[in-house]
Chain A
Amino acid sequence: MAVHKPLLRGAVWLGHLLILAGASAGATLALRVLIGGEGTLYLALPRLFPFAEMSLSLDGLSAFFLLVVALVTAAAALYGPSYLGAHAKAPLVQTFALAVFVACMAGVCCAGDGLTFLLAWEGMTLASYVLVVSDTRSDDNTRAGLLYLVMAHAGTAALLVVFLTLAERGHGFDFVAFRTAARSLHGSTRTALFILALVGFGAKAGVVPLHVWLPKAHPAAPSHASALMSGVMLKVALYGIFRLGFDILAPAAGPLPASWGWTVLIVGTVSAVIGVLLALQQHDLKRLLAFHSVENVGIILIGAGLAMLLSRGRGAEPLATLALAAALLHTLNHAAFKGLLFLGAGSVISRTGVRNMEELGGLARRMPWTTWLFLLGAVAISALPPLNGFVSEWMTFQALLLGGAKLGGASGMLAGVAASMLALTGGLAAACFAKAFGVTFLGRPRSVHAEQASESPAPMIAGMLLLVGACVALGLVPGYAMPLLDGPTQELLGGLGPSAVVTARGPLVLSGNGAASGLEATSISVTAVAALLALLAAVAWALRGWPRRAPRRLAPTWTCGMLPSSRFDYTATAFAKPLRLIFAAVYRPRRAITKETGPSPYVIRRLGYTGEVVDLAETMLYTRLKRWITATAQGIRAYSTGRIQGYIAFVLVTLVVALWFFARA
């Protein structure tokens, strides 16, 4: 084994470098389509099945999502070898699965027909399943993997119905045939298919209440694979929603059905709030991040749903463009900062072996790079200026407000509610990351593992730096990213692109368009504000140093006269306690305190505390569903006698019923 070790490491490195090369190629290709003005690229694949042609096609929307895939993949490929080298049990298998996973995600985005799409979709699911169950062999992981597989395939089943219906009516699997087929669909069939697609893709994207697998499965994979699953795989599912909702299933002319917009907006709002509320109560660093993915998918869907409500022929084209641009930009932004945060968490885990943030702390001095990169990610995800999360949320707010005023009535109210909930989400996310960052990295180390931690190797830092660069660039000069969104928004909505709407006043100024009569659009310059912030910070720094005469000295933190120890640090549980009580209706918190007393009840030997909160979707929906399925299965068992005649009779009856049913049609 020892002999093979360098060889093994070389193979892992080679695999990741190949992935990196693929990512660069994908990014180049995507950029050529998005800003090179190459039009749609098309590639016919060799004919594998007698009944369908397979092809790849890369239009604006595909190219944009390919870019998202490529960005995080590049960072993960840089990061991966050192991470796997540190503690992986099966690095070769994982490298291979990662390559397949990434290739399949790119395949889904570039698929030109339904069959290629579904094959790549399945490949993506299976490869990520391998990543989920291969990292550590524990019962929890196996169960998480199984749940993931079940949910993913239930989703795929819904998609299969949509695709087969379209294929049957369009006499072909390619998207062009699908579009033709969809054009002749009846209104209610169209909506039914859209809802099915929303369920199918939503199960993968982790929208509430289909999110239960996500916080279990994502953290189980190796961290750079988690980054890809949370940062990119969810986006691939959103790509499906965009592709079907705005493109394939959309009516040939006229606005998209209002019910679609309502559904997506409501689902998005609920996901955003529930996701972040549950994230707040997690102490497992990676699990907390996974719940935040639910939140951010919700925010993206808010933008998408609003774009649906405002789309085509309702006289609010610039607002629809603004909403969709906000959703797409948030897609890119979330990929960057969520990838970064997962890589940062992975860096902590690989150096300490601990995922529970209560056992961490004090890492700021031991792992400075990881700490400050994670902090930037935390600021970005909390939608605080001057980083990228704020930019896309600002655009979403503008679209919601102006769109709400434009829509008026019930739809306007819904937009208003979504805006309020989005504001709440921002506050909750900031609280959550103050907790996550503060408890994990600051204060004193609360365990030996945290005390003995040291900085991660350079390739891992490089992977994170790549994503931090994206976060900072997209935050400080977002105007230059707008041309990337032109292709996808124009394909989906027509009309002017975001670079003409949002950056109408030059790349340094962002405008929310569509203001009421007599008023100019709201404009902000994030760049100028960031410069001002930096200038003021420099002035304040200088001012602070200038009149000082007395020296700076270090002293222990005041702990009321007792010897300071890490026991005085505020824990994550304590930090989130006020919210646990305020939102008790959602959390249903339970706690148990066990007290072990000595001979007298006043002498306490031992105090134990356990507390937990529940995920309402899990207890209200899935537990009941599980109980119902078990009961039904028990009921059916009575008829399963084991005699062959009985089974033949069942088959016969089914056959007759089916024939009768379909012969009528």
Chain B
Amino acid sequence: MEDIATIGKVVAQAGLLVLLGPLLTGFIQKLKARLQCRQGASLWQPYRDLAKLLRKGTVQSDSASPFFRAVPVLVLAATVTTTVMLPVLWAPSRATLLPLGDAILLLALLALARFLCAIGALDAGGAFGGMGASREMTVGLLVEPAMMMAVFSVAVAGGTTDLVHLAARRGTLPALSWQAPDLLALFAMLVLALAETGRIPVDNPDTHLELTMLHEGMLLEHSGPGLACIVLATHTKQIVILTLLAALFFPLGLAEGSAPIEIALAGAAFLAKLFALAIFLGLVESSYAKLRFFRLPQFLGLGLVCAFLALALRIL
């Protein structure tokens, strides 16, 4: 019975993340518009875009293989699967019957989504897709290890890579109390989150100039419902990354049981954390210029070094 309740909670959390994803994007877009003294589109615009894309027809490249149609679906599935591994509202300290996954699996699934997306981009046989794929994989391989190191720096202290356990025990386990390495790891994660969510100074989500695009470059040949799947996956990935950050460093207010007041508090805490991180993304995006692609290794190297130092300090 309790296991069924746990599964129910996990599904509810996952659903919440997927549903809130577009709203988060809408909020950041609105914030950016306000900072540029524009009115900006409505908060709900991303939902409208998705609904519209789902109703449209598909134009597919005639040189693409049959696999091309499966790419958006698989990318979406891999991204959404990661949502069940995060503590959003609940963080039960007891192990569940069927543990689904940990931080390593979460990052690996995101890597799977990226890999499939890159393959899809190469499939259409256009230079833009190939360029996008090449660049995205390059950025990905710089971001992924750094992100893993940042996660490891917390996991080493906690003795587990399970995000739910880490979040639940953060308050009680002395080894997991806030220390200097956390500060470094947090800084690293903030740098990497910019890259992972495809924001300035790494990528520009608003551009339509092919040569400046990373992630968008890979999506050029997708259209209609397929594009909707990938766009939804992008929204979901963004909220997953921010939730991961919150779960690692600010696991405050997570509910232990299922009393309504507890859940309401957890929900408010979650929204507050998301709000703060979204403002961070919006502010950085509005106040920096996009970096030239070959300057990126230096920028991401900052995250890499901080994450490594955090890990080293934790082990020593």
Contact = CB atoms under 8 A, between A and B. Distances in A.
Query: Does B bind A?
Result: yes
Interface of A: 361-362, 364-365, 368, 371-372, 375, 379, 382-385, 390, 394, 397-398, 401-402, 404-405, 408-409, 412-413, 415-416, 419-421, 423-424, 426-428, 430-431, 433-435, 437-439, 441-444, 508-509, 512, 514-526, 528-529, 532-534, 536-537, 539-541, 543-545, 547-559, 564, 566, 568-570, 574-579, 581-582
Contacts of A566: 125
Given A556-B63, A578-B134, A402 B112 contact: no
Interface string B31-74: 00000000000000000000000111111111111110010111
Nearest to A551: B57
Given A420-B148, A544-B73, A555 B101 contact: no
A427 B131 contact: no
B266 to A, nearest CB: 22
B84 A518 contact: no
A538 B121 CA distance: 22
Given A442-B125, A523-B99, A544-B73, A550 B56 contact: yes
Contacts, number: 310
Given A434-B137, A548-B55, A578-B138, A443 B112 contact: no
Contacts of B112: 379, 384-385
B230 to A, nearest CB: 11
Chain B: number of interface residues, binned into ranges:
35 or more
B138 A540 contact: no
Contacts of B316: 408-409, 412-413
B226 A412 contact: no
A379 B111 CA distance: 10
18 contacts: A361-B125, A372-B67, A383-B108, A398-B161, A405-B157, A420-B308, A430-B115, A444-B63, A519-B158, A525-B99, A540-B73, A552-B58, A557-B62, A557-B63, A568-B125, A570-B133, A575-B130, A576-B134
A540 B63 contact: no
Q: Which 10 A-B pairs have the closest CB atoms?
A: A570-B130, A550-B57, A516-B159, A427-B141, A438-B122, A364-B65, A423-B145, A443-B125, A537-B77, A536-B77
Interface of B: 54-67, 70, 72-74, 76-78, 80-81, 84, 95, 98-102, 104-105, 108-109, 111-112, 114-115, 118-119, 121-127, 129-131, 133-135, 137-138, 140-142, 144-145, 148-149, 152, 155-162, 165, 169, 173, 175, 220-221, 224-226, 228-229, 293-294, 297, 308, 311-312, 314-316
Among A423, A509, A512, the most chain B Cβ lie within 10 Å of the Cβ of A423
Contact of B175 (A430, A516, A556): A516
User: Chain A: interface secondary structure?
Assistant: helix
Contact of A416 (B101, B109, B294, B311): B311
A430 B134 contact: no
Contact of A548 (B157, B169, B225): B225
B68 to A, nearest CB: 9
Contacts of A582: 138, 142, 294, 297
Contact of B73 (A413, A438, A541): A541
A556 B62 contact: yes
Contacts of A361: 125
